[in-house]
Each structure stands twice: as structure tokens, then as C-alpha cells.
Chains A and B, each alone.
Chain A
Amino acid sequence: MNCHAQVKKDSPLLQPIRDAVATGKPVPWVHIHIMPGYVYFNHAAHVNSGVSCVTCHGRIDQMVRVRQAKPLNMAFCVDCHRNPAPNIRPVQFVTQLGWKPDGDPAAIGRELVARNHLQPPTNCSGCHR
């Protein structure tokens, strides 16, 4: 509640959160981006390599109700793993969903891929264990 102790103290939208804090019962979240059990996706690995949220989750910030924006199927993952450059950006911008670089993003991506030796796995155990 830290911030919301002041900001929007009594917005009805935050009622569930206040209840949770009051009762200690967690807020039940709806599971939108569901991966099959045999797929292992690690956020740290992607975020720290400069893959933005928007790449897989779309413009969450512009969604009134969150929905799955990308197919998130194997072909979708493999495409990016084969050619990550277009989806790589400086790590500090990964959370800026509307990030518009000055200059060609792909070029920036290629440069980052080269600098960090990013070699996303395309073999099976990269995601299936």
C-alpha cells in the first residue's frame, strides 16, 4: 500500500488490494499468458538481454482489459531466438513499451547482440526440460 496510502487512497479500483492487505487473503489474479507445463520461460534471461515486455505482452499499458496480444507459440519464440536483433534494446528501456529510438532499432539491436554475445538457444533443451 506504500504509495496508495496517499495516492488514490479510496479509489474503488483499489478496493481488492485494500481488502487483501486488511484480511491477508491474496488477490486472485486471472492467469492470461499461460505457458504449457513443458515450456520453461525465464523472465530474467530475457529482460536482462534487453527484450522488452512489449515483445511478448504487447501494449499492456493501452489495454483496458488485459488480453494475450501475441501468439506465444513455438514458432513465435523460435523466430526471435533465430534473429533476436529486432527485439533487443538497451536494458534500461525494456519497460518503456512505447520506446521509439532515434535511429534504426534493428541496427541498435544488432550492435547489442554483438556486444553481449547474445546467442539465444534454438535447440530443444533451451525451453523444454
Chain B
Amino acid sequence: MADLAITRELNPPLITGHPSYADVTAKVSGITEGRMPRVWYYAFGVTVTITGVLIAMLSYLALTGIGVWGNNQPVGWAFEITDFVFWIGIGHAGTLISAILFLLRQRWRTSINRAAEAMTLFAVACAGLFPLFHVGRPWRAYWLFPVPNDYLGVWQNFRSPLMWDVFAVSTYATVSALFWYTGLIPDLATLRDRAVTPARKYIFGILSLGWRGSARHWRHYEKAYLLLAGLSTPLVLSVHTIVSFDFAVSLIPGWHSTIFPPYFVAGAIFSGFAMVVTLMVLAREVFGLKNLVTMKHLENMNKVILATSLMVGFSYLIEFFTAWYSGNMYERYAFYNRMFGPFWWVGWLMVFCNVLAPQVFWSKRMRTNVPVMFVVSILVNIGMWMERFAIVAVSLSRDYLPSSWGNYRPTYVDILTLTGSFGLFFTLFLLFVRFLPMISMTEVKGMMAADAPHQVGEGL
């Protein structure tokens, strides 16, 4: 018992207001059953419209050619790959929360992991769009997958980092989806059992796969969940590592850098957590989840943001140091160009948003202040996008031969496509909170049981 006392001191209850199991069920399921608050409909209307813009832009692109973007020689990749890396990065926080914190026994994850995982899926969906549509001939994009064909007899080039990307991203999407769905099964069963309309009963009946919470099942279920967490952890690290290979394996100054893998992963977690904060702050305001998503959750996330911000800042320093120390004139110029070239403002914006802004979280007052954390999280998202742009496009604009140096100006299509991808992301997220439990009832109840005052351990 003594150790439990300590436990409670170290981990004060994460669920405040002493709700009962039924309260949790009612609160969380209730959101998906009752009418949405009016603000939901407004928001949904807006995001759907923006998604429409995305569809329009992508169709225009596919019908006309990459020329509708600002890309050129030498800047073959610009907005599209920047957006791709950006969204993949966002996705990483979800997996981190659901898998890594799970393995680290961070119990505070329980009320946010479901939403975080959903965010991962939707972010990866948005990310996937860009490589798919950035190819000159989208109708040939399936050539990127090793589909056997007797007709040509030719295969993919597995030496290409882009090929690694295809496997990494599709694996990541699949595993994230499995992990998310596995976690959902018991809650889907709950919705099934609460369902009043035959339609809901039928749909959730199918989705919950006939789950009945048998003790025999729980034992395999928990094992599966643990294993998925164990698999997702190296996976999530590998995905951004491989994304960074796209650049690290090339020979372009500003790309050709060995510190990219850890640098990119840290950046991904950084931007991802910022996005989670943005979303959760909104969600708990709109749906009144203050008892489930407590200030402790937000504060912990802000701590992670601060830590990763320091890592990212350190990576910047190392990058510049390496360039200078290498004595390689091309490397040196690339980084000089990043901060003082035509795109100087991108470089400085990235340093301000990613390194300076998060430092306010050293103060507890700041990292527990909702408006402040909201603003910082937005800044971080902007800054991380700029970082990717600086790496992808700015490096390309001036590489080896001064004769071939070029400039880059995005077109309205570039900008609207990026905007549209946010529309898609939020549309999916709004649909998620509308139809699925955005908090894992099973886990919350399990934790309540653990926190319950009259604990019965096997000590008896």
C-alpha cells in the first residue's frame, strides 16, 4: 500500500472531478450521439469548402502539368515536398503519444492518445497526396509500387531513397491505422451497446467485430496492443529518418548532411506536439473536456515542445558548424545562402519560431497559460514549415554551378494546394470527433480503477 501512496503523490489523479465509469461512458459517447454544438457545423462548412479548393487545384494540376506550380530549373522540388515533409512530421506526434509514451508508462497520455492517433492518420493522408500529385505524370504514379508486370519486365530502383519513402510512408499509414483501430474496438463495442437506432447498432456491430470484453480476449488484446506499440516506436523513428534520406543521400549542398535523421525526427515530434496542442486546446474548449484533458496534459506536452525545440535549435547550430568546419566552399555557401541569400527571411523566421518562441515554456505560468501555448503552437507549426522550405527549395535554388542558379516564386496554385490540405485535415478531424469516441473510454476507466481509493491488489 505504501508504494501506492507514493504513486498517488507522484501521479495525482489525471481525471479530475471523480466521475463514475458510467459518467465517462456517457460523456465521451454522448459527444458522438447527441447533436454537435453549432460551432462544429460552422467549422465543418468552412473546412469542406477549403477541401473543395484542394480538389480543384489538384485536378487543375493533373490536367495541365507541374508548370502550374512555381517549380523550375533548378528548383525541382518546392512547396509540394515541403508540404509532404511538414505533414509527415505532424503525424509523428500521434504515434509518439500513443506508442512511445505507452511503453514509457506515461499514464497521462490516456485521454489524448486517441485524438493524437487520429491526427496521425489524417496528417499522413494529407502528406501522401503530395508525392502522389507531384509527379509529372500522376496517371503513371502506380509505377512507384513494385506491381509485377510481364508486359514490361522492368522493376523499380531500390537504390532510390524515394523508393524507400514509398515503403516507409505506406507502412507507416497502414500500421498507424491498425493501431488506431485496435484501440477503438472495445469503445466501438460500447457505442454498439448504447446504440438506439438500428443503423448505429448495425454499423457499430460490424465495426466492433462482436467484441464482448471477455477476460480471455483481453489477455490477447493487451498483448497485441503492447506489441503494436513496440512496433510503432521504431517505425515512427524510421519513417522520418527515411524521409530525411531523400535529402541526406543526395549530393546537393544543404541536403547532403549526416545529421538529418535525428534532426528530422526531433523536428517531427516538435511540430507534431505543437499540432496536438493546437487541436486539444480547441477540442477541450468546444466539447468541455476539461476534466479529461487537464492542464497537466497540456503542460506535459508543452514540456515536450520545449525539449524538442532545444534539440532542433542544436541541430541548426551543428549544421552550420559542420558546413563551416568542413572547409568545403559549396557547403559553406549553401548555409550562408540560407541565412543571407534571397530567402534570408525564411531562415530567420525558422530560427525565431522554432528556437526562440518555445523558450517561454521555461516559465510554468506561460506553459500553463492556454492562450500563450496556443499562439506558440501555431508559431512552431509555421516555423517548421519554413525549416522544410529552407532545406528543400532554398538549397536547390543555388547549388554547384552559379550559371544554373535560379530563383523561386510560388504560384497561387502552390499556396491554395497547401491551404487546401489543411482543409482536408480538419475535415477529417471534425468527422472523427463527430462519429468516434475521441477519448479512449476503456483506458480511462482502467486508469480510474487503478486510482480508485480501495485498491485491491494481488497482495491479498
Contacts and interface: CB of A to CB of B under 8 A. Distances in A.
Interface of A: 73-75, 78
B60 to A, nearest CB: 27
Interface in B135-184: 150-154
Contacts of A74: 151-154
Contacts, number: 11
B325 to A, nearest CB: 42
A34 to B, nearest CB: 15
Contacts of A75: 150-153
Nearest to B153: A75
Interface string B203-239: 0000000000000000000000000000000000000
A71 B154 CA distance: 16
Nearest to B151: A73
Q: Interface on chain A toward B: helix, strand, loop, or mixed SS?
A: helix
A92 to B, nearest CB: 32
11 contacts: A73-B151, A73-B152, A74-B151, A74-B152, A74-B153, A74-B154, A75-B150, A75-B151, A75-B152, A75-B153, A78-B153
A73 B151 CA distance: 6
Nearest to B152: A74
Interface string B106-118: 0000000000000
Contacts of B153: 74-75, 78
B143 to A, nearest CB: 13
> 4 shortest A-B CB distances, which residue pairs?
A75-B153, A74-B152, A73-B151, A78-B153
A27 to B, nearest CB: 33
Contacts of B151: 73-75
A75 B148 CA distance: 12
Nearest to A77: B153
A74 B152 CA distance: 5
Contacts of A73: 151-152
Contacts of B152: 73-75
Nearest to A82: B153
A75 B155 CA distance: 12
Contacts of A78: 153
A75 B152 CA distance: 5
B20 to A, nearest CB: 68
A75 B154 CA distance: 8
A77 to B, nearest CB: 9
Nearest to A78: B153
A121 to B, nearest CB: 14
A75 B149 CA distance: 9
A61 to B, nearest CB: 28
A73 B154 CA distance: 12
B375 to A, nearest CB: 54
A15 to B, nearest CB: 40
A43 B152 CA distance: 21
B314 to A, nearest CB: 45
A74 B154 CA distance: 9
A104 B154 CA distance: 31
Nearest to A74: B152
A74 B151 CA distance: 6
A73 B153 CA distance: 9
Given A73-B151, A74-B152, A78-B153, 8 more contacts: A73-B152, A74-B151, A74-B153, A74-B154, A75-B150, A75-B151, A75-B152, A75-B153
A74 B149 CA distance: 11
A78 B153 CA distance: 8
A75 B153 CA distance: 5
Nearest to A71: B151
A41 B154 CA distance: 19
A78 B155 CA distance: 14
B140 to A, nearest CB: 13
A99 to B, nearest CB: 28
A38 B327 CA distance: 46
Contacts of B150: 75
Task: Kindly name the residue among B150, B151, B152, B153 whose own CB sees the greatest number of chain A CB atoms within 10 A.
Answer: B153
Nearest to B154: A74
A33 to B, nearest CB: 17
A76 B38 CA distance: 64
A38 to B, nearest CB: 13
A82 to B, nearest CB: 10
A90 B456 CA distance: 93
A4 B269 CA distance: 84
A71 to B, nearest CB: 8
Nearest to A73: B151
A73 B152 CA distance: 7
